[in-house]
Amino acid sequence: MLRPLRLLAIALLAVTAGAALLTARDLQAQAPPRPPHRFFGTVTLNGVPAPVGTTVEALMGGAVCGTGQTTSAGQYVLDVNQPGAPAGCGRVGDPITFRVGGITARETAVFREGGYEQLNLTASGAAGFTVAALNLSDPRPCIPEPGQRTCSAFRAALWNGEAAAWAELGVTDPDARFNETVVFRVRAGDPAVISIIARFLGGPYLQVTRVKFVGSEPGQVDEYVEVANLGGGAQEMTGWSVSSPQRNKKVFFPNGFVMRPGDACRIYTGAPRENACGTASFNDTDVWPDSSGRVVLYYDALDLLGADTLYSADPNDQPPPPNLQGVN
């Protein structure tokens, strides 16, 4: 039988050996989180106090590291590196930029651990879009020829089924003109006309209908892409995927997930939430570029192209239809 003193010595040796196995990474992981850096002050938007509810964001290295809202006109409080902020938000000495209502403020700051700092923010200009959607309105916008930004007057006349334009091409019968207009739009890739035909034939027609490419939560985890079945038949989504080419990110729909006619679901950057496509999620941060980007929908394991659409935050530089258009 071991004596008590010998047992105590063995226990001490075990504790010492275990402590020696702790690496610097282990110690860092156990370290308490860095305290947030709190900013407060006035906030002016286009020369007037920002209204109640205006979103104020702090960014470090392109990541949203703090989000707040004005609770009284022209006043804000904001914690940078608040709980749940993405990695890289708490580096001492790194620069901080601010956005007010989606517009970059003139003022900047430098992150420090803890403390309060008064910083009056000013921003001016037109806010860029943060959401883009597929335009299915009626009358629908003319889709230009590949490589063009807008339709010529003649193409727009054909698109609208104008008799004089079609007569120049030898089509004078009203029924024939209607048929030719439908074919013209289908060949151009008009999603509204194609969806009508798909519903009539009872076939599925999947499209990317919306993207929220600028999130308001830390890490922009509330970004999402919306996919809808605009056709008339169900589609089993095994093997289908959504990709962000600029970020080299891709996520697959859950095996066995079915989208019925009229269904729409969302794939979020962070964890799934309302109207999610089952369990599908990028489980990441800031998947979609804030200024402009592409959303690609693939089907089958062979990555066959289902939809490839562009978006832009710049109100003055929107991609032509049928790409996604910025919406307020």
pLDDT tens readout for residues 201-228: 999 999 999 999 988 887 889 999 999 9
Q: What is the mean pLDDT of residues 40-61?
A: 88
User: Is domain 37-123 in CATH 2.60.40, yes or no?
Assistant: yes
User: What pLDDT score does 32 carry?
Assistant: 58
* Residues contacting 59, CB < 8 A, separation 6+: 65, 96, 97, 98, 99
What letter represents residue 280's amino acid?
A
Measured between alpha carbons, how far is residue 97 from residues 60, 109, 325 in Å? 7, 7, 27
Distance CA 301, CA 68 (A): 42
Confidence of residue 126 (pLDDT cuts 50, 70, 90): low
- Read off the pLDDT of residues 244-276 as tens digits, 9 standing for 90 and up: 999 999 999 999 999 999 999 999 999 999 999
- Read off the pLDDT of residues 9-25 as tens digits, 9 standing for 90 and up: 333 334 344 443 334 34
Parallel/antiparallel/unpaired status of strands 121-123 and 37-45? parallel
Nearest 5°: the CA angle 112, 118, 120 is: 120
Which regions of the chain carry the CATH code 2.60.40.1260?
131-139+202-327
Helices 191-201/174-188 angle, 10° precision: 110
CA 141 to chain centre: 24
Distance CA 58, CA 55 (A): 10
- Read off the pLDDT of residues 147-205 as tens digits, 9 standing for 90 and up: 899 999 999 999 999 999 999 999 999 999 999 999 999 999 999 999 999 999 999 99
The rounded mean pLDDT for the chain is: 86
3-class SS of residue 292: strand
Is 158 within 8 Å of 142 (Cβ atoms)?
Answer: no
Q: What's the topology of domain 131-139+202-327?
A: Immunoglobulin-like (2.60.40)
User: What pLDDT score does 239 carry?
Assistant: 94
